[in-house]
Structure 1
């Protein structure tokens, strides 16, 4: 991960932001940013059902920081099973989202930098495909297309034309069909104390 992030840092240093792996101290800033960027209904989306009570895929929770170290962008990827292969086996994949950039920093290439860093790190970690729900005109430039997800469905309502896939390994999603299911690690919960 360090090599990928070092090259991103060098590339975007002139724009006064860096890309880094999210740390536990980023939680409040990330959640505040997502609430502002995505609105009050963000937790009702079908994608959220796959993320709920899960931990992002290892090394694939990234933030953009301004020159003062404040979180100004975020992207996370989550382990899912992308339906079943023609051989009847679950197809491991990643679900990207949400991607958000602070409105005061839009137009600086932060979202694109987060996307490129996330895709590069997913490749480095040997993942086969990434899926997302988003605007095709934006995500097609990164290689995401609806035909890669055409036989897959999200849990709950979703807009078919916005359900996109990117194969990191050729043919990874070929023949995959069915419902996306969360497969990542569950969020650890603190043990509950019993009253004496």
Structure 2
């Protein structure tokens, strides 16, 4: 496979239509019924921590961060992480993940949660949320409910059901 001329950069407001099309291609219409999507309803994503990947003028991938809250301080919910199906398997998802986590660390964020495949996300340090620590506003396979502590001791300060977008 030839090398990609991949550009990773912060998401810009002008990217919204292309990101929406990417989500439709990557996840289909059933995405709205998933618990992870319901968690993100009701508020905008954190544009300062969201990242896109482009090949030429084509938006090939995107990852978003959303501020959420349970009991305790606000933290982040990562997602969706989307890569256009025609670009899967080329490292774009990993590059997006690293860029978004680097931005979250630089911003002083303490914790990131997500719903996803442990084998992929473990390489970035994610692990299953311990039973009884946090819950989501809908059903989710406990083995797919993951977190990554960015600031030591932060996870001990949060508990309960993640209630959606924080102010």
- TM-score, structure 2 normalization: 0.91
Q: In the alignment, which residue of structure 1 is the partner of 2:51?
A: 62
The CA deviation string for residues 131-164 of structure 1, in whole angstroms up to 9 with x for no partner, is 0000001100000000457510000111111000
> Are positions 1:19 and 2:1 aligned together?
no
Change (3 A) 1:125 1:36: same
Q: In the alignment, which residue of structure 1 is the partner of 2:79?
A: 97
Q: In the alignment, which residue of structure 2 is the partner of 1:146?
A: 128
- TM-score, structure 1 normalization: 0.79
Indicate which of 15, 18, 38 corresponds to 1:49. 38
Q: Which has the larger radius of gyration?
A: 1
> Are positions 1:73 and 2:61 aligned together?
yes
Aligned-residue CA RMSD in angstroms?
A: 1.6
Q: Secondary structure at the match of 2:76?
A: strand
Indicate which of 127, 146, 153 corresponds to 1:171. 153
> Are positions 1:35 and 2:17 aligned together?
no
Q: In the alignment, which residue of structure 2 is the partner of 1:135?
A: 117
> Any stretches of 5+ residues in structure 1 without a counterpart?
1-13, 85-89, 186-196
Report the alpha carbon displacement of residue 27 of structure 1 after superposing the two structures with TM. 1.5
Report the alpha carbon displacement of residue 183 of structure 1 after superposing the two structures with TM. 3.4
Report the alpha carbon displacement of residue 60 of structure 1 after superposing the two structures with TM. 1.4
**Displaced runs of 4+ in structure 1, greater than 6 A?**
none
User: Structure 2 CA distance, aligned partners of 1:49 and 1:37?
Assistant: 17
Change (3 A) 1:134 1:122: same
Q: Are the counterparts in 2 of residues 143 and 166 from structure 1 also a CA contact under 8 Å?
A: yes
